[in-house]
Amino acid sequence: MAENCSRKLTVEVCNAKNLMPKDGQGTASAYVIVDFDGQRRRTKTIFRDLNPQWGEKLEFLVHDVDTMAAETLELNVYNDKKTGKRSTFLGKVKISGSTFVKGGEDVPLVYYPLEKRSVFSQIKGEIGLKVWYVDEEPPPAPAPEKNDAPPPAAAEEKLPEKEKEEEKKPPEATEEKKTEEAKEEEKKPHSEEAKEEEKPPENAPPPPEAAATPTPGTSTEVEHPPIAQQKSTQHPEKSVISEHSKNIEIESKLMQKISSGNAERRSAFDLVDQMPFLYVRVVKAKISNPDAESSFCAKLVIGTHSIKTKSQAANKEWDQVFAFDKEGLNSTSLEVSIWAQKKNAEKDSIDETSAGTVSFDLQEVPKRVPPDSPLAPQWYSLEGEGSPGNDVMLSVWVGTQADEAFQEAWQSDSGGLIPETRAKVYLSPKLWYLRLTVIQTQDLQLGSGSAGSEPKVRNPELYVKAQLGAQLFKTSRTIIGSSNPTWNEDLIFVAAEPFEPFLTITVEDVTNGQSVGYAKVQVATVDKRTDDKSEPRSRWFNLIGDENNKPYAGRIHVRVCLEGGYHVLDEAAHVTSDVRATAKQLSKPPIGLLEVGIRGATNLLPVKTKDGTRGTTDAFVVAKYGPKWVRTRTILDRFNPRWNEQYTWDVYDPCTVLTIGVFDNGRYKHDEGGIKKDVRLGKLRVRLSTLDTNRVYVGTYSLMVLLPGGAKKMGEIEIALRFVCSSWISLIQAYANPMLPRMHYVKPLGPAQQDILRHNAMRIVTMRLARSEPALGQEVVQFMLDSDMHMWSMRRSKANWFRVVGCLSRAATFIRWLDGIRTWVHPPTTVLVHILLVAIVLCPHLVLPTIFMYAFLIIALRFRYRQRVPITMDPRLSYVDAVGLDELDEEFDGFPTTRSVDQVRVRYDRLRALGGRAQTLLGDIAAQGERLEALFNWKDPRATGIFVVVCLFASLMFYIVPFKAFVLGFGFYYLRHPRFRDDMPSVPMNFFRRLPPQSDRIF
């Protein structure tokens, strides 16, 4: 067909409806850009109209007729701004070439919903299109050249002979044979489920004709029924063309598109189970004789499931999508009915009258799997009494949670369009450190004291305080003899975009308790820097006096800048998930991708009551990594919810932590006595460095929560993880780089200052996310960020103590092993150590190679015993079961305490006892270092004199005796048999213990 005619594709852009206003004035100036097969066309701009009418026809040339079915027509709608400004995105539509129909007068007008370009796009509306193609006969061509190629049937029969005669033909012939085998394979019946799961064979993709003509039992693209009927009659099945090179080129193009489509599909939802949903999009109804006082709504009924759309006036659009969990349906039919609602003033009620019903057999509903184009809605006639001429426009299809309509749909398992139950992606605000350097003040107009006092204070005591939002910091106090004091102190704040409007700087006089004056600095005008080399400019600001609003009370010299070279910590340092600098130009490309599939939960415990009778749980999951937070949809009233949602994050450092928390939705209340805050059900963390790259981890993990009554298991959560590494070189290089950006090391912040800044950053993130829509609760953010880690806890103290003991136990084990050799507990081992000692003395150059080879062998042999599951939170390590109730009550007590005086006294006495033991231990450790220092500083002249004489004799001895002989003799002496040992401490130990520490000088 490509040789006998040329083909033109015509796209008529008719109109659009309900576009998103993007010009800041509640309207939009829309135009459309259409791309097809490397060609681009543009419509005119319709200014300030959310329902533009174009009516333009755009023509495209089809370069290859045989591959038109594999091409994609893409339309992008933009808001046209003034010259010099970038147009804003209003939506896009992708249409598969297999849905194009042949031109005629009856080409239907199809409305396609506008799709998002990314998860953050704000898009709505639909666009009406007519798409058709026309075949034009070319002028008569000269007589064709002689072609020795046999017809397709003959070519298939004589293929072996042809391979023998022509040695250059086998590759083409082989590809032709593979294509024929692919056609035969497609004719075999496949179940729809198997067709969705299987991957097309690499060597046998379906030809375009086979893709355009569906066979029974084969899953195909979802199409508009009239279009599908026309298409099937206009594209009969054809044999393989004789031009082998063109056939191979077509197959390669189709294979690339199929492979890319499957790759997108796998990367989107391959870590979770595909959940089938029945989608119903109700667009609008056409009522023949509407009552002006009545409103209309659509009602959907599937067995015991029923839902209504919002009420609208006659012939107005609903444009609502409903998603029903297909596994939970208890009927095989769907009924969509239109109801007229009219208020009855006498009975103070609403009377409903049916305007007709249409039914669907759910077994005949088509399937749609992205990236297939959305199913276009169509008109259906309503049946029933009083419904002549009434129609409803809707579309029904079966899809999965990967469908684009899933996010906007009313979902049967999550309460519908209630914002608090929908899935949502949040971003933490971008945080900066704002550094204020207070240099000096000049020409201060110091106010007078109180009535009856001196008119002016001779030596005032001044300080400077600065406030940014709720953050307030002060400089040190300075007693001056003039009005030009100097500080040169830094005050550091946490600033979040969008910034607070002003930084207020105030000079305070402590002597008379009054303010000398204040100045305001616009944060938007503050300089930004990324390193310590560029010194920010200093500025003078006039002070405005608080007393009688003096226009001039002096001036202050400061230096203000936004530090972009730091990473602002907004979470505990040991569980940080992002270490990048604030300035974007300092960020390096990501080294990999983290994919998390939140599959479901089991055996959740009830945390509230429904209707005051039975317990229930409305669970949702929050995952946090870097600045990106995700929240799944809320599954209502289920103890074994299944979310099957998948999310991805860019990874910039492997030594970071992913945090996942499970909560009960308390903001969606079942009754008046419902909980108003989200209740924590448990949390787990996974450090990415413990995961193998390009490997899928699927597992179930316990959810533990610590309550005042003790630790309680709330259920289990099932997740899937995969850390995909894009560059092994970058991954290995990350281990050699410093953990934090450069500014943390060249100009470090103090530990106390870091704690204050981290708590301020936590508060800012909590407040910003709480102001989102829907809000991410303050209790959720604080639980995910561990904002209470700085509070005293007996349980955490015990856990940290035993962590230290666990680390020291390895050293203690080695010392016990060495003591066992020294005391001849196992004589053969001690004899082997003697032999090893002789070998070391005779061949000292082999000491280090032997040690490193031994370490290599031991660690390599332990590889097969490595941890094969992600390492998450451990209740045993946290000592949640080994703590008393009073200690737990102390941990949950707020600050300041709310407990009784007697209870606080008991806890204080217990803390004093622990502190006493800790200070004794610290004193003993300090005494050892002080004894060693006293030995070299003649604190004890006799002991130091003895040590000096010993050093003199030792130098002479080592000059005469070879070092090898000394090592060998000392080794044999240390390993001597117990019968030759003394029970008393050795002479060097006695000598060291007699050295004077500083303990006797402490009060």
Average pLDDT score over residue span 245-265: 37
Residues forming a β-bridge with 519: 505
Question: How high is the pLDDT of residue 481?
Answer: 63
Whether residue 514 is contained in a domain is answered as no
Question: How high is the pLDDT of residue 93?
Answer: 92
364, amino acid identity = E
Upstream peptide bond of 875 is cis (omega within 30 degrees of 0): no
Same domain, 319 and 394: yes
Average pLDDT score over residue span 628-639: 90
Instruction: Report whether pLDDT(594) > 90.
Output: yes
CA distance 315 to 332: 29
CA distance 239 to 252: 18
Same domain, 768 and 858: no
Helix (H) / strand (E) element for 323: namely strand 317-325
Q: Taking the alpha carbons of 504, 510, 515, 517 in that order, is the dihedral positive or negative?
A: negative
Same domain, 847 and 771: no
Same domain, 823 and 772: no
CA distance 486 to 439: 6
Instruction: Report whether pLDDT(670) > 90.
Output: no
CA distance 192 to 534: 64
Confidence of residue 180 (pLDDT cuts 50, 70, 90): very low
- pLDDT higher for 447 or 59? 59
* Last residue within a domain, chosen from 110, 136, 162: 136
719 phi and psi angles, rounded to 5 deg: -130, 160
Average pLDDT score over residue span 492-506: 93
Q: How far is CA 845 from the centre of its chain?
A: 53
CA distance 290 to 977: 110
Q: 3-class DSSP state for residue 827?
A: helix
528: which 2 tokens?
Answer: 């930004």
Task: Find the range with the poorest average confidence among 445-454, 745-754, 906-915, 985-994.
Answer: 445-454
Question: How high is the pLDDT of residue 314?
Answer: 79
Counting every residue written for the chain, the total comes to: 1003
34: which 2 tokens?
Answer: 């259409």
Confidence of residue 188 (pLDDT cuts 50, 70, 90): very low
Whether residue 259 is contained in a domain is answered as no
Question: How high is the pLDDT of residue 427?
Answer: 92
CA distance 408 to 125: 12
Q: Which domain holds residue 925?
A: 794-1001
pLDDT in tens, 200-227: 333 333 333 333 333 333 333 333 333 2
Question: How high is the pLDDT of residue 201?
Answer: 36
Instruction: Report whether pLDDT(35) > 60.
Output: yes
Q: Taking the alpha carbons of 47, 52, 54, 60 in that order, is the dihedral positive or negative?
A: positive
Whether residue 152 is contained in a domain is answered as no
Residues forming a β-bridge with 334: 360
Burial annotation 221-233 (CB, 10 A radius, 16+ → b, else e) = bbbbeebbebbee
CA distance 735 to 218: 50
CB atoms within 10 A of CB 191: 11
Q: 3-class DSSP state for residue 993?
A: helix
728 phi and psi angles, rounded to 5 deg: -70, -30
Pinpoint the alpha helices (H) of 823-900. 827-842, 847-861, 875-878, 885-892
788, amino acid identity = D
Strands (E), 497-577: 502-509, 514-522, 527-529, 538-542, 555-563
Same domain, 884 and 984: yes
Task: Find the range with the poorest average confidence among 42-51, 665-674, 929-938.
Answer: 665-674
Task: Find the range with the poorest average confidence among 417-431, 458-472, 799-813.
Answer: 799-813
CA distance 763 to 449: 39
Planar angle of CA 284, 633, 272, nearest 5 degrees:
105
Same domain, 940 and 812: yes
746 phi and psi angles, rounded to 5 deg: -80, -25
759, amino acid identity = H
Q: Are 632 and 749 in contact (CB under 8 A)?
A: no
Whether residue 67 is contained in a domain is answered as yes
Same domain, 892 and 986: yes
Between the CA of residue 68 and those of 62, 99, 221, what are the distances in Å? 7, 10, 15
Same domain, 914 and 982: yes
Pinpoint the alpha helices (H) of 188-224. 192-197, 208-212
Q: Are 186 and 218 in contact (CB under 8 A)?
A: yes
Task: Find the range with the poorest average confidence among 1-15, 495-509, 587-601.
Answer: 1-15
- pLDDT higher for 622 or 406? 622
Q: How far is CA 566 from the centre of its chain?
A: 22
Burial class (CB in 10 A: 0-12, 13-18, 19+), 274: middle
CA distance 554 to 484: 10
Question: How high is the pLDDT of residue 150?
Answer: 41
Task: Find the range with the poorest average confidence among 329-333, 443-447, 498-502, 646-650.
Answer: 443-447
* Dihedral angle over CA of 368, 371, 377, 378, nearest 10: -70
pLDDT in tens, 956-980: 887 888 888 888 888 888 888 877 8
Burial annotation 519-541 (CB, 10 A radius, 16+ → b, else e) = bebebeebeebbbeeeebeebeb
Question: Highest-confidence range of 351-360, 476-485, 621-630, by mean pLDDT?
Answer: 621-630
Taking the whole predicted model, whether its pTM rises above 0.75 is answered as: no
* Last residue within a domain, chosen from 391, 412, 433: 412
pLDDT in tens, 854-878: 778 887 887 887 777 666 666 666 6
Same domain, 754 and 889: no
Confidence of residue 416 (pLDDT cuts 50, 70, 90): low
| Neighbouring residues of 646: CB distance < 8 A, sequence distance ≥ 6 | 268, 269, 270, 271, 272, 595, 596, 597, 598
Whether residue 754 is contained in a domain is answered as yes
637: which 2 tokens?
Answer: 């009233």
Q: Are 521 and 574 in contact (CB under 8 A)?
A: no
Question: How high is the pLDDT of residue 894?
Answer: 66
pLDDT in tens, 444-458: 887 654 333 444 545
Instruction: Report whether pLDDT(190) > 60.
Output: no
Q: Are 868 and 697 in contact (CB under 8 A)?
A: no
Same domain, 768 and 842: no
Task: Find the range with the poorest average confidence among 110-124, 528-542, 914-928.
Answer: 914-928
Average pLDDT score over residue span 764-780: 89
Q: At what angle do helices 941-960 and 901-936 cross, to 10 degrees?
A: 50
Burial class (CB in 10 A: 0-12, 13-18, 19+), 604: buried
Task: Find the range with the poorest average confidence among 23-32, 757-766, 835-844, 923-932.
Answer: 923-932
Question: How high is the pLDDT of residue 676?
Answer: 76
* Last residue within a domain, chosen from 412, 427, 452: 412
Q: Are 723 and 693 in contact (CB under 8 A)?
A: yes
Whether residue 562 is contained in a domain is answered as no
CB atoms within 10 A of CB 363: 7
Q: 273: closest CA among 695, 622, 597, 601?
A: 597
Half-sphere exposure of 8 toward its Cβ, with a 13 Å CA cutoff?
Answer: 11
Whether residue 118 is contained in a domain is answered as yes
* Dihedral angle over CA of 22, 25, 26, 29, nearest 10: -50
Question: How high is the pLDDT of residue 718?
Answer: 93
CA distance 929 to 932: 5
Confidence of residue 495 (pLDDT cuts 50, 70, 90): very high
Instruction: Report whether pLDDT(423) > 70.
Output: yes
What is the per-residue DSSP string for 180-195?
HHHHHHHHS---HHHH
Question: How high is the pLDDT of residue 1001?
Answer: 67
Whether residue 556 is contained in a domain is answered as no
Task: Find the range with the poorest average confidence among 321-325, 448-452, 712-716, 867-871.
Answer: 448-452
Q: 3-class DSSP state for residue 248?
A: helix
990, amino acid identity = N
- pLDDT higher for 235 or 835? 835
- pLDDT higher for 248 or 749? 749
Q: Are 24 and 152 in contact (CB under 8 A)?
A: no
Q: Are 121 and 115 in contact (CB under 8 A)?
A: no
Average pLDDT score over residue span 46-60: 89
Burial class (CB in 10 A: 0-12, 13-18, 19+), 575: middle
Same domain, 634 and 729: yes
Residue 378: give its domain's CATH number.
Answer: 2.60.40.150
Q: 641: closest CA among 650, 632, 649?
A: 632
Q: Are 441 and 482 in contact (CB under 8 A)?
A: no
Question: How high is the pLDDT of residue 218?
Answer: 33
Pairing outcome for strands 333-344 and 349-361: antiparallel
| Neighbouring residues of 18: CB distance < 8 A, sequence distance ≥ 6 | 50, 51, 124, 125, 126, 317, 319
Q: How far is CA 736 from the centre of its chain?
A: 25
Task: Find the range with the poorest average confidence among 546-550, 555-559, 898-902.
Answer: 546-550
Same domain, 987 and 913: yes
Q: 372: closest CA among 71, 96, 68?
A: 96
Confidence of residue 712 (pLDDT cuts 50, 70, 90): confident
Instruction: Report whether pLDDT(637) > 90.
Output: no
Burial class (CB in 10 A: 0-12, 13-18, 19+), 551: exposed
Q: How far is CA 74 from the centre of its chain?
A: 29
467: which 2 tokens?
Answer: 């406030």
Instruction: Report whether pLDDT(32) > 90.
Output: yes
Question: How high is the pLDDT of residue 833?
Answer: 84
Burial class (CB in 10 A: 0-12, 13-18, 19+), 346: exposed
Question: How high is the pLDDT of residue 329?
Answer: 82
DSSP class of residue 311? -
Task: Find the range with the poorest average confidence among 67-81, 324-338, 845-859.
Answer: 845-859
Confidence of residue 724 (pLDDT cuts 50, 70, 90): very high
Q: Are 829 and 821 in contact (CB under 8 A)?
A: yes
Q: Structural domain tally of the chain?
A: 4
Question: How high is the pLDDT of residue 133?
Answer: 87
